[in-house]
Amino acid sequence: MMHEIDDPVLLSPSQLVSSSKLSKNLGAYLNEVRKRPIFVTREQEVEAVLLNLDDYRELLREEQKIEDLYLAVLALRRLAENAKTPERLLEMDEVLERFGITREELAEAPGDEMEN
């Protein structure tokens, strides 16, 4: 379990609801979650987060982008490690195509600037 100091989640007390209160007033909280996430507590500990479907979908999209970038970076590192044996190397565009990443997306990724 994370300590409060290590926890990156910032929330206001108005976003906290006990699980029993949530179960009694679910409709009202489903309306509230359109505006912001609701943090569900049980025994005074945050146990879950209730968020709207659009926000959840956006989180899944962001997770996929991060995974795609990680795989691209991994592939590029492997290419760099094998630079001494050019006959085994793939063109950068081939690697990016395999992972479904464009040069523009790679250029927008945080980190070092991409060389052409």
- Residue 70 DSSP label: H
> Does residue 35 surpass a pLDDT of 70?
yes
Q: Does 66 share its domain with 100?
A: yes
Q: Does 67 share its domain with 79?
A: yes
| 49-64: burial string, b at 16+ Cβ within 10 Å, e else | ebbbeeeeeeeeeeee
Q: What is the pLDDT of residue 48?
A: 93
Contact 66, 83 (CB under 8 A): no
CB-neighbour burial class of residue 40 (10 A; exposed 0-12, middle 13-18, buried 19+): buried
- Provide the whole-model pTM: 0.56
pLDDT in tens, 58-82: 999 999 999 999 999 988 888 787 7
Residues with Cβ < 8 Å from 38, sequence gap 6 or more? 15, 16, 17, 22, 29, 32, 49, 50, 51
Q: Does 81 share its domain with 36?
A: no
**Residue ranges making up the domain that contains 90:** 55-108
